[in-house]
Structure 1
Amino acid sequence: MADPSRDPEAGLDIDRGSTPRTPRWVKAFGAVVVVLFVPFAVLHLTGRSLGGPGSHTPAGGLGGHAPPEGSHG
Structure 2
Amino acid sequence: MTDVPPGRDPKDDAIPDTGVGRGRGAPIGTPRWVKVFGIIAAVLILLFVINHLAGGGIGSHTP
TM-score by length of 1: 0.44
Which structure would you say has the larger Rg? 1
Structure 1 or 2: more helix by fraction: 2
TM-score by length of 2: 0.48
